[in-house]
Chain A
């Protein structure tokens, strides 16, 4: 077995190319399940949200939840999919997580097909389909130290059975582990923006499987893939892809070929382990569910959904970057939109704030759950105090934190804390003291080349900061040092 690999890029040597497609299951945040009126709620006592339909009792009949269909179509349109008439099918298999012995899904006529998702870096990933299906129950294996194969028995909770899911299947367009993570982050941002799921990986309302294969660079063939399951975080997703890709490269390079199979990510040991061999679709004996009639979006439905879609993350990022006139970085814009703080920054820019500083200050220093006390005007005032030199960057961060805690306007907070950037003669005096106290560094600063000068400027500025307990403005100190050196 290969050694444990940390997540790192590139995942494969330069003569190989990584090929990844993702299957993401998302639980829809409807009030009820897909085919019955039981509550769709996480965390309730086991088997309290169940009825004859989701228990698969004889004589019960499923009726489709209109909201689940609406949410699914909304997601489809947000992903640029064709939304069409659809048919529910039974996927037959024997496992106690589905008491009916089949799962109702969509097979050859899914609701959404042929969409795409654009990542913040501009890379586009095709969406093959996004179909509606019901979730399964939760099985807990007891005994045998938690290992499935050694378990003494299993307990089944059907609260989750029948919860509406959309499975979003991407095309194999992902080329790096970082792109895979960006895809999931972007998909999550879209789900939150359109309000169809809370998309929490840690609670299982968003579950990601990765289909991983490799091929010689420059080729367009698709080689044997393995489906990696049990990826419960973005970090696990990235590490598993890198591990699996390297495993495939090793196999092919050694004249072997990977088996097409499902594999499990083992987070503790940082590796994938084989699961069952992948069954053919034929083995599921899909056929149309005779208890359910087709879905056919009425005329005007799609247009109405499109008209009601809120601005999506990609558009919001573009708008933020545009409102900053090029001063807002794409990284800051992506983070701000992800945290839903782009509105605040745009409003602050409209209120006169320097776009670059406003975006960076919020992106770096406002990573809190509740920042509602920070007003656009307050943020604009803070940014202008920082730019004019009244506050150092460090002080500005502290003031912003206090603003988020409801501390009031930035000038009031700065005054209360006794913050004011030391300027003018006071600062010049401190700089002179530092120069006098570090003659060796100073002479090397004056004589040094650009790199040496930069290094020593950092050291001397640090001494000034220490002497002033952070109340000096770094840019002003640097100006004084250059003046004193006669340059």
Chain B
């Protein structure tokens, strides 16, 4: 089965990921994403009535740490790989709009 994902949906997901594609690329990606979903849909054919949902592959819960301060990174190290630094902070391009 194909066509689970339309070109518009592919374009929407691309916009959320801040990626730009041509229409031809979007068609190709829509087809590929549809194929991935088709594959996942195979699972729907199985009877899972008595199977508990798996919330995590590891059979573990409550992996926590004590609330104790540990050393942070040195400032120089933090900012060493930043493309641009100003006043001890990461300098980034102007941002259109506000945080989601």
Contact = CB atoms under 8 A, between A and B. Distances in A.
Interface of A: 30-32, 36-39, 45-52, 55, 63-69, 85, 87, 92-97, 109, 136, 139-144, 148-149, 151-158, 262, 264, 275-276, 279, 283-285, 288, 290, 292-296, 298
Nearest to B63: A293
Interface in B75-100: 75, 78-79, 86-100
A66 B88 contact: no
B58, B61, B79 — which one has the most chain A CB atoms within 10 A of its CB? B61
A66 B95 contact: no
Contacts, number: 145
A38 B64 contact: no
Interface stretch (B21-29, B35-43, B44-52, B65-73): B65-73
Given A46-B89, A50-B72, A285-B16, A295 B95 contact: no
A227 B82 CA distance: 34
A155 B75 contact: no
A393 to B, nearest CB: 50
Interface residues of B, number: 38
B94 A152 contact: yes
B1 interface: no
B100 A284 contact: yes
Contacts of A284: 100
Given A68-B67, A294-B56, A295-B62, A154 B91 contact: yes
B67 A67 contact: yes
B49 to A, nearest CB: 21
Nearest to A148: B98
A37 B72 CA distance: 8
Contacts of B55: 87, 109, 288, 294
Contact of B90 (A38, A96, A151, A276): A96
A298 B61 CA distance: 10
A7 B71 CA distance: 47
A338 to B, nearest CB: 28
Contacts of B100: 93, 95, 276, 279, 284
